[in-house]
A and B are shown apart, each in its own frame.
Chain A
């Protein structure tokens, strides 16, 4: 498998406070990779920097062989790297279909096929096609945020805490869709606090603590690791 995304020694700080302190990892084509960690560990900052919303103070981001460090967000999206932002951030006053069309803003070709595909993943969205995004429930909004990002036909889809604030049953649905999207050929980089779900779905995983990567391995390895279990899975006994 060829390497799609490579992060080398990435550093991000907000007004002197270092949020990310030299992170290195890579994502290969066709993988699901997850970054897990507690609040404030620097997961979201890493994603936001990769997608161009923040500028790094040091390090290098390579996507598909091209250096995209510090490029602006629009150029990065154009290269095929889409993000599902934290807290969904759908456009509340635009209809569902308008939200989806915005996701494909940089594309000039016909969108009908992609809209159909998103509606296949999320039949609920089809029912609500003309409804304003803000009137959807939390779960539906998350579906919309994922669908919106898919509209850009990303090579790599980055998701920032898709399970945030959702009921367990809805979270399961979302992860099921992540697996389907992955099976359909999209590489996924997932940032999660819900380590249990994330590790089950991931090929490989990294643990971030205080802006540094402290552990890495396959999803299965980390699931069985005692320290991970204690810190992120909330139990020490195997069940």
Chain B
């Protein structure tokens, strides 16, 4: 919503202009926070140390991309492979029902996008189920290694030239519906209302809300009991394998949705992006936010993304204070400072920013009120 301010208020500071890094950060953080929360569901709430998140994101991203490239674009996107082997595309199917432009077009786009996102999650969840059967019998580090390997294998398979007609080999798939497709434009192409930041926020919030509801249900309690003590949980009649599988599939489902959102954010889907580095990045966010805290994960995501994409950017270029040239600042220095910041957090907040607590707005307001009353 902030994005639209510049249209109504002239002379707004640069930060609130649509081109500001603020909106890049907000979009990316919205996407990452969903993935971080999904990872926290598995690692923080069920106690399964899995490092397959990037693999499931990749599955989601590709599912979304392959389903959403319209037929008119396919020739161009898949030019190396002489067109796409996969004829179906959701936008075309919906355009046939609702028409191309106007309100019908908008409904078609929203529905096709929604269905593709859900399918992206389902594909990731399905693969999680398959891989879960052998892998979930492993414990701690072994599970981490197995899932990490699975993600790397997936990445290699999707880059395989033989699968080119479907996955476009090592090249990126583009031309599908992205966040900026949701900006409402008039006939001449000028933007009337920007929704490109609102959409990822909406999707992420709904998904995170679903995860929170799950965590607070009796299933969530069972997950936490498995994390605390597997043997006692089993003695209480909790079927360990069934519940671990449930957590793994649900976590992967949302990672898949997150992957699809990520593809929308960068406007392309490419296997090269979903490396284990991405998983580590998300793991770092989960650890910084606090293992076992949803609000911690969300908070940490915004801080992390803001630092890496925006606040620390100035360290990468030469800076002058007056005539004085600040030493050390050059390309890559940002990462040095960034690492130090992370080390400080890990050392001094060993439980992460939030530990396993949640931000409780009600309690916060209550505290502030109590403080005021004491002052009076």
Contact = CB atoms under 8 A, between A and B. Distances in A.
A102 B231 contact: no
A31 to B, nearest CB: 22
Nearest to B219: A105
Q: How large is the interface on B (under 10, 10 to 19, 20 to 34, 35 or more residues)?
A: 10 to 19
Given A53-B234, A72-B239, A74-B237, A102 B222 contact: yes
A103 B236 CA distance: 6
Contact of A94 (B228, B237, B239): B228
A73 B235 contact: yes
Interface in B101-122: none
A97 to B, nearest CB: 10
A93 interface: yes
Contacts of A51: 235
Contacts of A53: 231, 234-235
Contacts of B232: 85, 89-91
B218 to A, nearest CB: 7
Nearest to B228: A91
Interface string A65-107: 0000000111011100011010001111110001001110110
Contacts of B233: 91, 102
Interface residues of A, number: 25
A77 B221 contact: no
Contact of A89 (B218, B221, B231): B231
A194 B256 CA distance: 55
A53 B232 CA distance: 10
A41 to B, nearest CB: 21
Contact of A102 (B236, B239, B292, B356): B236
Contacts of A211: none
Given A93-B224, A101-B221, A105-B222, A85 B231 contact: yes
Contacts of B292: 93
20 contacts: A53-B231, A53-B234, A53-B235, A74-B238, A89-B232, A90-B232, A91-B224, A91-B225, A91-B232, A91-B233, A92-B228, A92-B229, A93-B228, A93-B356, A94-B224, A94-B225, A102-B222, A102-B238, A103-B236, A105-B222
Interface of B: 218, 221-222, 224-225, 227-229, 231-239, 292, 356
Given A91-B225, A105-B221, 11 more contacts: A73-B237, A74-B239, A82-B235, A85-B231, A90-B232, A91-B228, A91-B233, A93-B292, A103-B236, A105-B236, A152-B236
